[in-house]
């Protein structure tokens, strides 16, 4: 097995894959420096491992579940997070079709996996529309939206680019050039790995299964 690629925290995710897609609550705490080492399973991950893992601000987002979304509420679970928008016709739906494959392939252990879609277009993506979008792929998927200051905090910490581009008289009126990666947040709430657009679902399945096995082993001790 090849060694995972790693990113230094000081230059976290500088080379982002931009997807040219065509046709509130504030943060509750400031980010703190991470002092923990990599998780024991990190050397076996096939995604791009973030070394050291990034501690994330516990932002609050409105969610399609009807509750406020906080990462702290999902400690002990694995979270796969994607930043996109409902009107994106290519990268976003393709990615979520693959995430559906990942989720369904895991079976019962997927109860410990959360798939989260963060809209970069809260101006158009209401919670009702996000609900329709996420549930078109799987009823367990979660859509979230936040105010601009909250989104900017997340963009900085995840290394996400989301550039709005006006398209004149188009029915869409504007598009986004945006990072098309999937981000893995581990059971301790830290950002642990990134998966560039085009990564095989089998890679994600392998990595999520690996972490879920680690969680189960910890639960039994």
Q: State the CATH number of the domain containing residue 72.
A: 3.40.30.10
Please check whether residue 159 is in contact with residue 184, taking contact to mean a CB–CB distance below 8 angstroms: no
Residue 96 has pLDDT above 70, yes or no: yes
Query: Does the pLDDT at position 13 exceed 80?
Result: no
Domain count, the chain: 1
Per-residue pLDDT, 59: 97
Interhelix angle for 201-220 vs 91-106, to 10°?
40
- If one compares 13 and 106, the residue with the highest pLDDT of the two is 106
Q: Is the pLDDT confidence value at 175 over 80?
A: yes
Q: Is residue 37 part of a domain?
A: no
Residue positions counted in the chain: 221
Residue, of 10 and 193, whose pLDDT is higher:
193
139 within a domain of the structure (yes/no): yes
Distance CA 32, CA 30 (A): 6
Residue 65, pLDDT score: 97
Kindly state whether residue 36 falls inside one of the protein's structural domains: no
Domain span including residue 63: 6-30+54-220
Task: Specify whether the CB–CB gap between 14 and 48 falls below 8 A.
Answer: no
- Note the pLDDT of residue 167: 83
- Assess whether pLDDT exceeds 70 at residue 26: no
Asked if residue 44 is part of any domain, the answer here is no
């Amino acid at each position: 097995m090849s060694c995972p690629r790693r990113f230094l925290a000081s230059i976290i995710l500088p080379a982002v894959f931009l997807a040219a897609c065509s046709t509130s609550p504030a943060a509750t705490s400031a980010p703190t420096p991470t002092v923990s080492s990599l998780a024991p399973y990190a050397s076996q991950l096939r995604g791009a491992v973030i070394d050291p893992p990034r501690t994330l601000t516990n932002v609050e987002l409105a969610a399609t579940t009807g509750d406020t979304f906080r990462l702290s509420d999902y400690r002990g679970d694995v979270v796969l997070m994607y930043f996109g928008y409902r009107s994106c016709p290519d990268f976003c739906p393709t990615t979520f079709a693959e995430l559906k494959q990942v989720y369904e392939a895991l079976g019962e252990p997927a109860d410990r996996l959360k798939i989260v879609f963060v809209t970069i277009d809260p101006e158009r993506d209401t919670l009702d529309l996000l609900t329709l979008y996420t549930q078109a792929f799987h009823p367990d998927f979660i859509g979230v939206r936040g105010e601009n200051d909250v989104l900017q905090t997340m963009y900085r910490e995840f290394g996400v680019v989301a550039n709005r581009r006006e398209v004149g008289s188009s029915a869409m009126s504007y598009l986004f050039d945006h990072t098309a990666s999937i981000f893995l947040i581990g059971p301790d709430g830290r950002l642990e790995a990134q998966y560039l657009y085009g990564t095989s679902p089998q890679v994600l399945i392998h990595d999520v299964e690996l972490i879920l096995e680690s969680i189960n082993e910890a639960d039994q001790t």
